[in-house]
Amino acid sequence: MPLFPRGNALAAGSASAQEPFMQIRLTVDGRSATATLYDNATARDFAALLPLTLTMEDYAAIERVATLPRKLSTQGAPEGMAPVAGELTHYAPWGNLAIFIEGRSYARGLLPLGKVDEGLPVLARPGPYPLRIEAVLPKK
Question: At CA 93, angle to CA 77 and CA 4, rounded to 5?
Answer: 40
Is 136 a residue whose pLDDT tops 60?
yes
Q: What pLDDT, in 10s, does the model give residues 53-99?
A: 999 999 999 999 999 999 999 999 999 999 999 999 999 999 999 99
> Can you tell me the mean pLDDT for 106-135?
97
For residue 108, pLDDT over 50 is answered with: yes
Mean pLDDT along residues 111-126: 97
Q: What is the pLDDT of residue 137?
A: 79
For 41-76, b/e burial (b = at least 16 CB within 10 A) is: ebbbbbbeeeebebebeebeeebbbbebeeebbbee
Which has the higher per-residue pLDDT, 19 or 57?
57
Please tell me the pTM assigned to this model. Answer: 0.85
* pLDDT, average across residues 119-137: 96
Tens of pLDDT, residue by residue over 27-55, are 999 999 999 999 999 999 999 999 999 99
Q: Please report which confidence band the pLDDT of residue 2 belongs to, taking 50, 70 and 90 as the band edges.
A: very low
pLDDT for 19 equals 76
For residues 138 and 120, give the distance between their C-alpha atoms in angstroms, rounded to a whole number.
22
